Amino acid sequence: MTADPVTADLVIFGKEWGVRPSGTEQLVRRLVPQSRPQGRRALWVNAAGARASLDAGPAAGGIRVLTPRAVPMLCHPLSRRANRHLLGRQVQGAMAEAGIARPILWASWPTAVDALGRLGERAVVYQCDDDISALEGGDRGPLRAMEDELVERADLVLASSPALAARFPRYKTILVPHGVDMGLFAAPAPRAPDLPDGFVAGFYGGLTPWIDTDLIVAAAEALPHWTFFLIGPIPDHPPALSGLPNLVLAGPRPHESLPGYSQHWTASILPLRDTPRMHACTPLKLREYLAAGTPVVATGGPALEGYREVLAAVSGPDWFIRALAVTAGNTNSPDRVRRQRARVAGDSWDEAARLVADALDRL
């Protein structure tokens, strides 16, 4: 496909903008400011189910955000038919207000396939950060079928891991590993005022099914003199996590404030279940933990490959607990901090965005 002389604008179908920055958001924040002299604008379309708002207002620089109305049950044939019309009309209006025409349509979730062909797009990009076939719960068949359709119609596929890239046609797939914002996570940050004193095992992120909450509980019971401080959305019914005096469900915190916690707690914990889904993915927080400089104690098998020399990769509660105990005397090791940060220094989001910008300009 021949590129126009003007850098193409973007219409991105992603998660909710600005809540917990996804890999897509990290890239888009850098692609718009670093665009070529002609400029690049972007419209970010929040996923269905995000907080309701029809305002397509500015978010950052040349990026505008739209939260459209959509019919629930996005994979149902009747809902898909309705959403093709409803979603297309709303996005078309927001594009007109932003002065966007003939954009590159960027989908970070398969349900965006229903917008294809309605927006005058010049090209389609699918960014895959997750193994759809390994999602927990529900009927994955319709979603996988939507992904297959999206991949077939895409001009470019961005995959965040080699395992994911291997699932797609080689001729139109590039590997774009997750990055890290070294400027945010490695620069010294003041200690968060609500971070407990003493030994603290810290975690941030959603308590999703691939987080081993049983392991957290076992460690909290075995180490009563430690505080287990968990930052992130609190599930309606957090299994077994409530009632322990040394386990704190702290709730969400702004992304920019996280180094004030992760640089100052005793150890960052990443208790991942060894599941098919985690075989294909690398959690965003892994590189951020390493950049923060405190010891990292993690489980999870293949998700840790390439990082085992700079973290404590363990299996089972006994070794997890022992590794945490060891960190109590190793928190301020300058050599360990240097090695951790050196391992992820080349994995910046800026470098990932340059790789994507070059690929977009070839469409």
- Both 160 and 224 in a single domain? no
- Both 23 and 93 in a single domain? yes
- Both 60 and 118 in a single domain? yes
Residue 329: count of CB within 10 angstroms of its CB: 9
Backbone angles phi, psi at 199, to 5 degrees: -75, 125
- Both 69 and 164 in a single domain? yes
Q: What percent of the chain has pLDDT over 90?
A: 60
Is the confidence at residue 37, as pLDDT, over 60?
no
- How far, in Å, CA of 69 to CA of 90, rounded? 8
- How far, in Å, CA of 222 to CA of 214, rounded? 12
Cβ proximity of 44 and 135 under 8 Å? no
Average pLDDT over residues 1-6: 46
In a domain, 101, yes or no: yes
| CATH value at residue 123 | 3.40.50.2000
Place of tokens 């959603």: 206
Is the confidence at residue 30, as pLDDT, over 50?
yes
In a domain, 3, yes or no: no
Query: Which pLDDT does position 2 carry in this prediction?
Result: 44
3-state class (DSSP) for residue 324: helix
In a domain, 299, yes or no: yes
State how far the alpha carbon of 188 is from the alpha carbons of 259, 263, 284, 291, in Å: 8, 8, 20, 11
- Both 84 and 211 in a single domain? no
- How far, in Å, CA of 298 to CA of 243, rounded? 24
- Both 116 and 62 in a single domain? yes
Q: What is the DSSP string of 97-154?
A: HHT--SPEEEESSGGGGGGTTSS--SEEEEEE-S-GGG-SSS--HHHHHHHHHHHHH-
- Both 132 and 241 in a single domain? no
State how far the alpha carbon of 97 is from the alpha carbons of 43, 56, 101, in Å: 10, 8, 10
- How far, in Å, CA of 52 to CA of 69, rounded? 7
Cβ proximity of 22 and 108 under 8 Å? yes
In a domain, 304, yes or no: yes
- How far, in Å, CA of 279 to CA of 277, rounded? 5
State how far the alpha carbon of 330 is from the alpha carbons of 191, 201, 277, 324, in Å: 18, 14, 32, 10
**Tokens standing for residue 277:** 């889904």
DSSP assigned state of 357: H
Mean pLDDT of the residues in the chain: 86
The total of structural domains in the chain comes to 2
- Both 236 and 252 in a single domain? yes
- Both 101 and 198 in a single domain? no
- How far, in Å, CA of 27 to CA of 19, rounded? 15
If one compares 217 and 52, the residue with the highest pLDDT of the two is 217
Cβ proximity of 294 and 279 under 8 Å? no
- Both 164 and 16 in a single domain? yes
**Tokens standing for residue 324:** 């945490």
- Both 188 and 227 in a single domain? yes
Q: What is the pLDDT of residues 253-266, one digit of tens each?
A: 999 999 999 999 99
In a domain, 22, yes or no: yes
In a domain, 4, yes or no: no
Cβ proximity of 278 and 272 under 8 Å? yes
pTM, rounded to two decimals:
0.87
Query: Which pLDDT does position 320 carry in this prediction?
Result: 97
The domain of 325 spans: 182-344
Cβ proximity of 109 and 47 under 8 Å? yes
Single-letter code of the amino acid located at 241:
L
In a domain, 148, yes or no: yes
In a domain, 1, yes or no: no
- Both 203 and 331 in a single domain? yes
